[in-house]
Amino acid sequence: MRLVENTRAGYSFLEGIAPYSSGVIAADGYEITHITLAVSLPWEAGMHAARKYVESMGLSQWSLCGFELRCPQPHTMDGFIDFNASYRAVLQDWDMYVDGENPIARTNVAPVLNPPSETLLYGFSVCQESQGSWNTFVIAGGGELVGSLRAGNIVCEGETDNAAMLEKARTVARLMKTRLDGLGANGQRLSTIDVYTTHSLYPLIEGAIAEEIGAITRRGLQWFYTRPPIIDIEFEMDMRGVRQERVVDMATA
Which whole-number Å values give the CA distances from 111 to 78, 119, 142, in the listed order?
20, 11, 16
In a domain, 101, yes or no: yes
pLDDT value of residue 148: 72
State the CATH number of the domain containing residue 234.
3.30.1330.40
Question: Kind and range of the H or E element at 174?
Answer: helix 162-183
pTM given for the model: 0.95
In a domain, 253, yes or no: no
Total domain count, the chain = 1
Q: Which of 19-33, 162-176, 202-216 has the lowest mean pLDDT?
A: 202-216
What's the first-to-final CA gap in the chain, in angstroms? 36
Compute φ and ψ for 194, nearest 5 degrees: -105, 140
pLDDT value of residue 5: 97
CA 7 to chain centre: 21
| pLDDT over 60 at 16, yes or no | yes
Give percent above pLDDT 90 in the chain: 89
| Cβ(233)–Cβ(116) below 8 Å | no
| pLDDT over 70 at 194, yes or no | yes
In a domain, 182, yes or no: yes
Domain that holds residue 99: 3-248
**pLDDT tens per residue, range 29-65:** 999 999 999 999 999 999 999 999 999 999 999 999 9
d(CA 104, CA 108): 13
pLDDT band at residue 222 using 50, 70 and 90 as cut-offs: very high
Which whole-number Å values give the CA distances from 124 to 61, 170, 189, in the listed order?
12, 27, 19
DSSP secondary structure letter of residue 112: S
pLDDT band at residue 204 using 50, 70 and 90 as cut-offs: very high
| pLDDT over 60 at 253, yes or no | no
